[in-house]
A and B are shown apart, each in its own frame.
Chain A
């Protein structure tokens, strides 16, 4: 466990000049600041005294495992593995999909039991938990002069996967949020399509015009106030100049007027009947069922839905999210990490080095699987679904805000969801919602 650098040699902290994690959160807290792919700091390539022994792995035939949670991305991942094995015929990579709901349960118990994937996906909210436990291998051996040039990756994502100044995650992809809408339903109601200038008032007016009731039953909802905070609530809070949690992750800031206003704006959408309620969302994934089926007219959502939504219903288009005080879109991205307890850590690092290469990133782009994290490949992704204005998601990078994370993990987010679910079910008086949400999140933050 002590040595995470199998290739030997001591290395200076190559990210010493980079903004730390807290600074990143602070910038996110101030609001949309133009962080992301557009603003890069030049990489500081430190000298690598031990780098001479490139390919210092044994060369024996080994098998490593690669854990991830999205089965829809399997074809692209298999293509990446194939390309890797052409270069490293002695290393075979076995892909292992686990559904997201069980992914982190399985991962954590696997690590505790001393048996888990050699290489696996990591997300922002869970990263600090694993990095702080020493479960992840330091990637400095595969970055820099003769490894992956990290300056090709957005600073936001490098920061997201650094802990105490050390990089533990190789950025894989990123995603921003846009407003998907169904053109057919807009045409039928004679409502103009959403534009980049839309405000919250425009959104509300359109949602009212697009909601259709038959007696006491709603047959069409104008807006889908999705219970995924990343794709809905957080964006609205940031747009209104609010924050979700404090920069040190010690307390919630949901009772502040800016955040509260956003929370209530979305609450009203649900309680006024303009959006599917909790009961309807409970058993229906809006992205998979009600929205492509044409019963919901507008739905905020992540860029990773684009390809599938277009396939399911060609009338679906995308626009930037409407804004209140400022543009804002939550940016998040996954990373590939190496388990520090892996028996084949050297080979696992080789694989992650490959996954960080342009060749591997290109595969993600061409298959329209996800927006590849590497700068310059985003255009390729965009061209994969030319019928949709995917530029919306790339533009959003300029005003993107990082996904909020706290050192103790994602438990506070579950606490927030509990309150939102209760509030949107009508179980909390409107004037107590913000206070309750704030209290629940602060309690969770201080407990973990």
Chain B
């Protein structure tokens, strides 16, 4: 191939070859499209179509059984004076900041600790990763019991120490902390693994080079590790923000009150579920879902824009 490319070839012949090569490329492209067609068909049917349908439904009063009636922007206008929506929005917002910051911080610390040559390293890595593989419903059920104000082990321990025993999942002052703790417990392992991969991608020579210059562990961490981990951190931050905005299963399991459908910490997605599948206001619920999508989009774009200021790609 290379030889042919540099050998002097008459112009006509070269043109013929280019044409043949184009033909070949086209045939290859055809095959490519054919092979991805089943996947694209599924994508179109189950994602694009569903997306378009939900956008349409958000302008209707569809209640699942009746045929949808066009109501224009009514559903979106309603969001402005819907107190329950505002509460869900507020809960989601106050959850996002501590969740993202603490998750990244803990995951990074864990990854650095488990990247060093300590005994039982693989064992620890496995332990911290196990919650990621556990079903959220099981996690919520167990933690709900751990948090039980009267009979849970957490408050039992606090009581033994003479400390106050909060109504973790019920008191508005503690429910945020309680939910964030469980989110961290169940999510940190995933971020830790990604950080570990990031750490192992940093060439050892960099460290050796600065060590020769007399840099201590802190300098190495600040000037080598942190900057070179910024692409990983950026990815994890984007994912963590999206996760935070989509919290549902934990609050569905942990903060609903027995015998009622009242929830002590309704989030955006919980509210969508409540409106869509309990009150059967599918049209309104899809409007909320689109607003959530827009919020996610805005925050993700914002992060992509901000990354120019702090993310270093080698």
Chain A interface residues toward B at CB < 8 A: 104-105, 108-109, 111-112, 133, 135, 217, 226-228, 276-285, 411, 414, 417-418, 420-422, 425, 427, 448
Contact = CB atoms under 8 A, between A and B. Distances in A.
A283 B159 contact: no
B277 A109 contact: yes
Given A282-B256, A282-B264, 16 more contacts: A104-B278, A109-B277, A112-B64, A133-B65, A135-B65, A278-B167, A279-B170, A280-B149, A280-B167, A281-B257, A283-B147, A414-B262, A417-B257, A417-B261, A421-B260, A422-B262
Contacts of A135: 65
B144 interface: yes
A429 to B, nearest CB: 15
Contacts of A421: 257, 260, 262, 264
Contacts of B171: 279, 425
A285 B148 CA distance: 12
Nearest to B274: A414
B278 A414 contact: yes
17 contacts: A109-B64, A111-B65, A112-B64, A217-B159, A217-B165, A227-B257, A277-B167, A279-B149, A280-B148, A282-B256, A282-B264, A283-B169, A411-B279, A414-B260, A414-B262, A421-B262, A448-B279
Interface of B: 64-66, 144-145, 147-151, 159, 165, 167-172, 255-262, 264, 277-280
Of residues B165, B256, B259, B264, which shows the largest number of chain A Cβ atoms within 10 Å of its Cβ? B259
A285 B259 contact: yes
B61 to A, nearest CB: 12
Contacts of B64: 108-109, 111-112
Contacts of B144: 283
Nearest to A130: B65
Nearest to B66: A133
A39 to B, nearest CB: 31
Contacts of B145: 283
A417 B151 CA distance: 24
A135 B262 CA distance: 28
A285 to B, nearest CB: 5
Which 3 pairs from chain A and chain B are nearest by CB? A279-B167, A279-B170, A417-B260
A281 B277 contact: no
Contacts of B277: 105, 108-109
B107 to A, nearest CB: 29
Given A105-B278, A109-B277, A417-B260, A282 B169 contact: yes
A282 B258 contact: yes
A105 B273 CA distance: 10
Please report whether the interface of chain B is mostly helix, strand, loop or mixed according to DSSP. loop
A304 to B, nearest CB: 14
Contacts of B147: 283
A217 B165 CA distance: 10
A284 B148 contact: yes
B65 A108 contact: yes
A227 B259 CA distance: 6
B172 A427 contact: yes
B170 A425 contact: yes
A111 B255 CA distance: 29
B167 A284 contact: no
B259 A228 contact: yes
Of residues B66, B147, B159, B261, which shows the largest number of chain A Cβ atoms within 10 Å of its Cβ? B261
A427 to B, nearest CB: 7
Contacts of A411: 278-279
Contacts of A283: 144-145, 147-148, 169, 258
A228 B64 CA distance: 28
B270 to A, nearest CB: 13
Contacts of B255: 282
A105 B149 CA distance: 30
A221 B184 CA distance: 35
A422 B149 CA distance: 17
A418 B83 CA distance: 13
Contacts of A448: 279
Contact of A227 (B159, B168, B258): B258
A244 to B, nearest CB: 15
B237 to A, nearest CB: 33
Of residues A104, A135, A276, A282, which shows the largest number of chain B Cβ atoms within 10 Å of its Cβ? A282
Contacts of B264: 282, 421
A13 B24 CA distance: 77
Nearest to A232: B259
A414 B255 CA distance: 15
A394 to B, nearest CB: 25
Contacts of B280: 108
Contacts of A418: 260, 262
Nearest to B277: A105
A448 B168 CA distance: 34
A279 B265 CA distance: 13
A281 B65 contact: no
A282 B170 CA distance: 8
A282 B65 contact: no
Given A108-B280, A133-B66, A448-B279, A279 B260 contact: no
Contact of A278 (B66, B170, B278): B170
B269 to A, nearest CB: 15
A280 B168 CA distance: 10
A112 B170 CA distance: 35
A282 B278 CA distance: 20
A388 B169 CA distance: 37
A427 B256 CA distance: 17
Nearest to A112: B64
Nearest to A277: B167
B169 A279 contact: yes
B258 A414 contact: no
B259 A281 contact: yes
A281 B255 CA distance: 11
Contacts of A217: 159, 165
Nearest to B261: A414
A277 B169 CA distance: 12
